Amino acid sequence: MPGPQLDDAEWQRCLDGVASLSPTPDYLVASGSLPAGAPAEFFAHVAALARTLGARLVLDTSGEALKQAVENGGVYLLKPNMRELSQLAVRRIEDEAHQEEVALQLVRSGKAEVVVVSLGAAGALYATREGSERLRAPTVPIQSKIGAGDSMVGGMVLSLARGDALRDAVRFGVAAGAAAVMTPGTDLCHREDVERLYRQMAGVAA
């Protein structure tokens, strides 16, 4: 749902709050839509602050705010869905090879170090300078898709903060997103479901 209207002083105070974070975070997450009154380049300012702080920015947004942020660089991990990937490509994504091409181009052009495209029931595609890989989502009973993307981001950042390898972090994020669709309404993922699905994806006995 839309947030409250912010005036210039209010959204500037939000940026000041990020600039004064202490201790400096290892990861900074910027997600969701901007409230009315905040400029489209708000997340671009956050990306610049992340660079100054030495924090890794994880970005999950859409529309003009997404375009402005990636044009200015400084994003560590970008998490678009297919619609948002098409917005960045400025054309319709035709097939899986095209998905990979666009994701890799975003990395190679310096827009982000890592691009993780959420593909819903198909899992995720992630790209780095070393190449790209698809991780399939486990099959789960679907109750509500609300919060799946947020859970995916949360799972990835938690795993990265623990020091896990990127591939494992993306897998943990996919497991968190899958666990979220198992819960009703706006309920988010449950830890035990995430860990069980993660072990299942990794081929480890529960």
- 76-133 tens-digit pLDDT: 999 999 999 999 997 788 899 999 999 999 999 999 999 999 998 899 999 999 999 9
Instruction: Report percent pLDDT > 90 for the chain.
Output: 83
The lowest-confidence range among 1-10, 42-51, 176-185 is 1-10
In this prediction, residue 206 carries a pLDDT of 42
Q: Is the pLDDT reported for residue 43 higher than 60?
A: yes
Q: Which residues are catalytic?
A: 150
Query: Which domains, ranges and CATH numbers included, belong to the chain?
Result: 18-136 (3.40.1190.20), 138-206 (no CATH)
In this prediction, residue 94 carries a pLDDT of 82
CB 183 within 8 A of CB 146: no
Q: Is the pLDDT reported for residue 205 higher than 80?
A: no
